[in-house]
Amino acid sequence: MEEERVKISKKWLQQLSKGNGSPIDGLTSDSLKVVQAQKGLIRCRLVVSERQADGDGNWHVGAMATLVDNIAGATVHSFAGQIRPTLNFNMSYYSSAKIHEEVEIEAKIVAEKGKLAAVMVEIKKTDNGDLIASAKQWTASNNNAGRESKLWTALNFTNNKKNPKPKL
């Protein structure tokens, strides 16, 4: 079961990077590659595109925050088996990446207390390791989370014979 959670989380992020999901998720996840996925840890790489940049050619902070939220959600799912609503999201920006620069995003579960889970996310430039941003996100368990997302629901299947695995 644990391995299945990781596979679903990884596939969800891969599908977002292909444009499956909301338009904003597709835009912010464009070129995203999952390079490591395990229970409670997801590491990705992304090359900043012109579509993700602001007028000065920097990676847009809103695009960055949206991507962080999605990767954190997938990380929580890999750990807890469900996507959870965000209760608190705090992000600090230290520098930026330019168009065509590659970044590495690492999200990991750092705490769990009852129905709460905390995810730390760091974004660094791949070429020199400079810190671009860090974020901390607290989530709460909620059995209704993700039900509105057709993509997430399709990926979060069960082995129930009445509801076989959907085809994507």
Q: What's the pLDDT band for 1 if we cut at 50, 70, 90?
A: low
- Rounded to an integer, the average pLDDT of 28-55 is 96
87-125 pLDDT, tens digit per residue, is: 899 999 999 999 999 999 999 999 998 889 999 999 999
pLDDT at 160: 40
Domain boundaries, the chain: 2-147
Kindly report the CATH number that applies to the domain delimited by 2-147.
3.10.129.10
55-91 pLDDT, tens digit per residue, is: 999 999 999 999 999 999 999 999 988 878 888 999 9
**Quick check: 49 pLDDT over 60?**
yes
pTM attached to this predicted model = 0.84
Token match 């835009």: residue? 27
pLDDT at 8: 93
Rounded Cα–Cα distance for residues 154 and 108 (Å): 24
The alpha carbon of 19 is separated from its chain's Cα centroid by a whole number of angstroms, namely: 14
- Rounded to an integer, the average pLDDT of 39-63 is 97
Residue by residue, what is the 3-state secondary structure of 43-95? Answer: EEEEECCHHHECCCCEECHHHHHHHHHHHHHHHHHHHHCCCCCEEEEEEEECC
